[in-house]
Amino acid sequence: MSEVRFKLAAGTNVGLIRQNNEDNFVVCSDLSTSNWLIPQAGDYADLGQFGVLLVVADGMGGANAGEVASAIAVETIQNQFVPEQLEEAVANDKSIQEFMKEVVKSADLNILHHSQNDSNTQGMGTTIVMAWILNNKAYICWCGDSRCYVLNKRNGLIQLSKDHSYVQELVDKGELSAELMHDHPLSNVITRCLGDVDNRANPETRIYQLHNDDIIMLCSDGLCGICHDDQILDVMINHNEDPIECKNELISAALSAGGYDNVTVALARIQTDEEEEETAAEEETAEEENTEEDKKEELSTTIRSDIRRRSHKLRNFMLFLLILIIAGGAYIWFTPSCSPLKDQITTTVTNIITSIKQKI
């Protein structure tokens, strides 16, 4: 298993239009110690026993309600991602995904209970997306249209989450092309969230195998709803070495594109020893292939030499036989007592020579 190290960055901006920020986020650099501080340094850190967690929540509901809903979601996650609960949760992939779903469902219930007790927050809700980096995998869980991407040096920018939105349903039905999703007039209509009084939260999960130099990026739709993926890709490529700088530039890109929504970004840059392992594996494979090729060539050479030896033996035997026949024929030809046999000898010798030439 590859050793994983990471750099983190996260931040939010109210944008250029809104008066309050309904987004919330939280980052834990070491779940085994409940270290929920946002790293300020750009150095790599070793992955702890229970890994790293990044969370982005995009609240909705107007006034302070959306901010409350997203804050409750984040707080619920912090309260449940504690070492005493993680021991059992990290048993396997299935248990990890189930734990993440249950945490999201708990946050959903907490938001509903709060709105029932506070009439000022009725109707509030929030999206949620989180990435749990554990061992050499990223476990993604989301509900709504806040997104998780990965920038991979081989495959480019990949969206790991799938929007719970009206336009995504149109795409799934074949009624809208994916290229037109971003600019559709109903692109902001979501079909799942936390805090919906009519529908319990129904989060999805996904597992992603980490690779060296991957950048996991979580964002609210204040980024991905304003900037196209190719714009996001350009920024991430140009600032891929420093997550803090990359985060700042992504937020700046959203503001430059209009900044009409709150924008939140959380990033994790991954470093593994995968590249060394891949190189060693490739060299070993190449060596095995060369060894196999050498064996094949050696066998082929042996076969060709054996054929040549047999061919030489046959050719020498035929030449020796030809000499004997010619010598015998010459003796008969020039002996007067054998003159009646000349015509028959001539025909026989001619046939033998022709036969030998064909075999040689």
Res. 338 pLDDT band, cuts 50 70 90: low
Q: pTM of the prediction?
A: 0.77
pLDDT for 216 equals: 98
What is the residue-averaged pLDDT of the chain?
85
DSSP-derived secondary structure letter, 290? H
CB atoms within 10 A of CB 70: 35
The number of residues in the chain equals 360
User: Does residue 300 surpass a pLDDT of 60?
Assistant: no
pLDDT for 309 equals: 47
The closest of 269, 2, 35 to 149, measured between CA atoms, is 269
Give the pLDDT confidence of 34-49 residue by residue, as tens digits. 989 876 666 899 999 9
Please give the residue that has the higher pLDDT: either 257 or 359. 257
Please give the residue that has the higher pLDDT: either 358 or 242. 242
The closest of 264, 246, 26, 240 to 131, measured between CA atoms, is 26
User: Does residue 305 surpass a pLDDT of 50?
Assistant: no
Interaxial angle between packed helices 65-80 and 93-117, expressed in degrees from 0 to 180 and rounded to the nearest 10:
140
pLDDT for 28 equals: 96
Give the pLDDT confidence of 183-196 residue by residue, as tens digits. 999 999 999 999 99
